[in-house]
Structure 1
Amino acid sequence: MNFGQIVTAMVTPFDERGEIDFAATENLINHLIANGSDSLVISGTTGESPTLTLEEKVALFKFTVQITAGRVPVIAGTGTNGTRESIELTRHAENAGVDGIMLVTPYYNKPCQEGLYQHFKTIADTTALPVMLYNIPGRSAVNMEPETIIRLAEVPNIVTVKEASGNLEAMAAIIDSTPDNFTLYSGDDGLALPVLAIGGAGVVSVSAHVIGNEMQSMIQNFKSGNLQEAAQQHRRLLPIIKEMFSAPNPSPVKAALNLKGVAVGGVRLPILPLPEANLQTLKNVLNLHKATVL
């Protein structure tokens, strides 16, 4: 399964009552497909998965598969910090017709490396779907070592990893020691270009909600050998990427989408709406970027 270069970790739109807004979700899906997204991750952290019920997740899986209608692959976030629960959610995702699943490192319970290996292998063995591993020590409080990822790459349907450790040395080791058909994606928007430079496949992105086409252009320039232009584009995009993480995700990106006329509503507690000071800075950065592009 080829997930492309830009995999967008999609927000979950909510209505004024805090329920999933499926009309807004359809609009968002079409916006993302038209603006640089090669694949979509649904019910990940950016999709506020910790606040979604099982029933909401399954409904979101089914709806997204229906609306994408095969235009782009759909990857369902089915990883939890319980192996059995992850297997159950994966089964629902497979029945919904998704194209792959993303499994995050188990948070809070801090398993050892062998525990991580057994967790991911056990889940992968229950499904025919391609599996994207997700290493994010900053949120899960456990780091999956390169050696563990390299071992897991031997499992036939574990095909890729979203690496959000920020450790380029570890990423290089993973790329160097896994099969050619195993891919690595940056889990940090600001490292998309550096990760490409060491052999990565692309980025699982939050910022692509608002700068997806620009990120695609940067990647195409890099792959075409226009390295100076790609580097300039990277530097121009960094201020927006910085603002996308000026407050807990996905508060800033939801605010940015609402400002751009792509209505996605607010966030669920314990995440708070973007503070007014941050919102003004975000408006200024978006306006400056728009003027620069024009």
Structure 2
Amino acid sequence: MEFKRDPRFGRLIPAMVTPFDQNLELDLDRAQQLADRLVAGGVDAIIVNGTTGESPTVFYPQKLELFRAVLRAVGGRVPVIANVGDNCTADTVYFAQDAAKLGVDGFMCVVPYYNKPPQEGLYRHFKTIADSTDMPIILYNIPGRCSINMEAETTLRLAHNCDNIVAIKEASGNLDQVKAIIEGAPAGFDVYSGDDSATLDIMRLGGVGVISTIGNVAPERMKEIVELAAAGRWEEAEEANAALLPLMTGLFATANPILVKEALKLVGFPVGGVRLPLVDATPEQSAALAAIMREVGVLA
């Protein structure tokens, strides 16, 4: 696979965790420190308050506070993408308008969850959002969390009919579907892996990179993998990927982002716990994670 252009938002985009204090309130100072740490680690953009950022338990006013804080910390060094997706179309439209006023660089919108719309409903949902804004939008397809899959035909219909729908984070696990999207997409439409461990497989098909969980903990290592792949240095990319793969999978031994927050704590950059109904890592989970982190060279 030959990469002929650089993607709009780059190749490594961490879905940033949301730091909380000891009372599980937003820790905006720590969020700014984390954003700065990610930029220093070489990330190309940052997604704020995605699933890894505990979006279901961070309410709209808090989301806006978080977006504002990260924008201040980043200071234009990399794009800041706000996750504004919800399972109510009207709520998403109104919230996106509020987020746009802050100066974010783009939106991510997840497939509506729980209400299980048909494919035509998915199309109209995203088309309505796209028509309400000039901001670039990244779609997010993750059937494991949303209970439905957005089919390649629907994604391509949106990509061709909405100029500001510019990318998709594909976490369906269906490489045939990913291949169909890549081959049928208009010029300039980017396909990102939604799973760190699937990144090289998707880039071999023509995907541009990854919207990453492990990028919170080891951004330099994940950046190396995607850049080697983009340069066509596949053997080196595979070697670097294999060296980090145990942690990519290990972070998902329980519900994300429990273990990525624990991993940050283990490397000396604590970001607080998780909000219910998630629960913090057990001592056993923490010990197993630390062993993996030592194995891959992320923890001394």
Q: Same fold (TM over 0.5)?
A: yes
Give the Cα–Cα distance (whole angstroms) in 2 for the partners of residues 3 and 223 of structure 1.
Answer: 14
Give the Cα–Cα distance (whole angstroms) in 1 for the partners of residues 96 and 226 of structure 2.
Answer: 31
**1:37 and 2:43 correspond:** yes
User: SS of the counterpart of 2:39?
Assistant: helix
**1:260 and 2:267 correspond:** yes
Counterpart of 2:261, as a letter, is K
Question: What residue number does 1:70 align with?
Answer: 76
**1:243 and 2:255 correspond:** no
Give the Cα–Cα distance (whole angstroms) in 2 for the partners of residues 203 and 220 of structure 1.
Answer: 11
Question: What residue number does 2:286 align with?
Answer: 279
**1:176 and 2:183 correspond:** yes
Question: What residue number does 1:208 align with?
Answer: 215
Give the Cα–Cα distance (whole angstroms) in 2 for the partners of residues 146 and 119 of structure 1.
Answer: 16
**1:108 and 2:114 correspond:** yes
Give the Cα–Cα distance (whole angstroms) in 2 for the partners of residues 63 and 208 of structure 1.
Answer: 20
How far the C-alpha of 1:288 sits from its partner, in A, is 2.0
User: SS of the counterpart of 1:153?
Assistant: helix
Aligned length in residues: 293
Q: Is the 8 A contact 1:36 1:208 kept in 2?
A: no
How far the C-alpha of 1:232 sits from its partner, in A, is 1.2
How far the C-alpha of 1:245 sits from its partner, in A, is 0.7
Q: Which is worse superposed, 211-220 or 143-152? A: 211-220
Q: Is the 8 A contact 2:138 2:168 kept in 1?
A: yes
Question: What residue number does 1:52 align with?
Answer: 58
CA RMSD after TM alignment: 1.3
Q: 4+ residue runs of structure 1 moved beyond 6 angstroms?
A: none
Give the Cα–Cα distance (whole angstroms) in 1 for the partners of residues 178 and 15 of structure 2.
Answer: 20
Q: Is the 8 A contact 1:27 1:262 kept in 2?
A: no
Q: Is the 8 A contact 1:105 1:134 kept in 2?
A: yes
- Stretches of structure 2 that go unaligned for 5 or more consecutive residues are 1-6
The 5-angstrom pairing of residues 135-214 of structure 1 reads 135-154=141-160, 155-214=162-221
Give the Cα–Cα distance (whole angstroms) in 2 for the partners of residues 261 and 92 of structure 1.
Answer: 35
- Stretches of structure 1 that go unaligned for 5 or more consecutive residues are none
How far the C-alpha of 1:206 sits from its partner, in A, is 0.4
Q: Percent identity?
A: 44
Question: What residue number does 2:89 align with?
Answer: 83
**TM-score in terms of structure 2 length:** 0.95
Give the Cα–Cα distance (whole angstroms) in 1 for the partners of residues 268 and 14 of structure 2.
Answer: 18
**TM-score in terms of structure 1 length:** 0.97
Give the Cα–Cα distance (whole angstroms) in 2 for the partners of residues 159 and 77 of structure 1.
Answer: 15
Q: Is the 8 A contact 2:12 2:226 kept in 1?
A: no
User: SS of the counterpart of 2:218?
Assistant: helix
How far the C-alpha of 1:113 sits from its partner, in A, is 0.3
How far the C-alpha of 1:225 sits from its partner, in A, is 2.9
